[in-house]
Amino acid sequence: MTAHAPPKPFTAGDYTTRMARALGQALHGGLDGMIVAPGPDLVWLTGYEPTAVTERLTLLILTPRLRPTLLVPTLERPDVEAVTGGGGLGIVDWADGTDPYHLVSELLKPDGQFAVSDSAWSVHLLGLQAAMPQTRYVALSRRLPMLRAVKDANELYRLSIAAVAADATYDEIVGWRFAGRREHEIATDLARLLREFGHEQVDFTVVGSGPNGADPHHEAGYRMIQPGDAVVLDFGGLMFGYGSDTTRTVSVGEPSLDLVRVHDIVRTAQQAAFEAVRPGVPCEEIDRVARAVITDAGYGERFIHRTGHGIGVTTHEPPYLVHGEDQPLEAGMCFSIEPGIYLPGRFGVRIEDIVTVTGSGGERLNNTARDLRVVG
Ligand code: ZN
Ligand code: ZN
Ligand code: ZN
């Protein structure tokens, strides 16, 4: 793997722009603002991620009435200042023994409607509702699903080097022995390699051998991998705060004719879906294209999930490539294309790349070979 320069840090200006965009979208959507608890939205908007998410209320408030304001427990104020470094962000702290919900009620429109981040704990949302009985709330991901969907150049760079690291992990693991080892041992290897190649966090290492491959999210277990198995390898995590997620299906020893055939169908579907990517095409069209290839080959019933999901500061987020999602693709969006065929009791095949939308088409961030690789 060629070494890649670390990304430039995000600037206070980047966060100011994101917070302004978020508030603008909320107001445009008829809301009075946005409240954001610790989690991916807060990281994306401010760069701040508390070391531990606790019962103490931490909340970013975006309303037209005041500059972006982060409400934090007094004891965590130094952590916040160290990360956000002032910028356009106001910080209000609250001390143990005082009522933070009351403090919030003094900042928000008493009968306003607000988007609230998905990661807000119910205890906090209930506390806000009790303190401000006239306020109403909608889920941020429901009302503003595309808030984080279009990536800027720095975000794209992070996603691309995360993909390079995932590709390096795959290129390494296929040279190692599979037969006679247990799924969880391969999973451990994948996690270690992802970290070696630069990931700070590993989110999943699916190793589905033989019949276990027919379960798309199979948790790697104690099954001993055998010659003749198909093995689905699906792994990813975060590198410089941005996600990787790739899947390849390998054959342990010479593949059966059925495996060769099914793998070829999935690869054709994945390629067709990739070629359909360009700005303006609705998300569901990418799903339709992949599904048509698999359905025409007679396996439509065995493709049991959507074709893909967005990726950014998390490994699963909007946009979703699924029937019914008419959101048009825009340049800068990043998502997986991951059709699969799952044959219960026998094997599964899935092929997944992260793809970004360019001005005229799509570009894969994962670039390992997609042919059926034979491993030892
Ligand atoms: Zn998944
Ligand atoms: Zn995956
Ligand atoms: Zn995925």
Looking at residue 88, its pLDDT comes to: 78
**Beta carbons within 8 Å of 124's beta carbon, 6+ residues apart:** 37, 57, 59, 101
Protein residues near ligand 2, an ion, with CB under 5 A? 234, 245, 247, 352
Distance, CA of 116 to CA of 141 (rounded, Å): 9
Q: What does R_g of the chain's alpha carbons equal in angstroms?
A: 23
> In terms of CATH architecture, what is 153-375?
Alpha-Beta Complex (3.90)
Q: Within 13 Å and on the Cβ side, how many CA atoms surround 344? A: 3
pLDDT per position as a tens digit, 215-270? 998 889 999 999 999 999 999 999 999 999 999 999 999 999 999 999 999 999 99
Task: Name the residue ranges covered by the structural domains of the chain.
Answer: 12-143, 153-375
Ligand closest in space to the Cα of 218: 1
Residue with tokens 């019962």: 55
- Does the global pTM surpass 0.75? yes
Ligand closest in space to the Cα of 350: 2
pLDDT per position as a tens digit, 189-209? 999 999 999 999 999 999 999
Distance, CA of 162 to CA of 111 (rounded, Å): 44
CA of 298 to the centre of ligand 3 (A): 24
Residue 86: pLDDT band (50, 70, 90) is low
Among 3.30.2030.30, 3.90.1170.50, 3.40.350.10, 3.40.50.450, what is the CATH number of 12-143? 3.40.350.10
CA of 102 to the centre of ligand 1 (A): 40
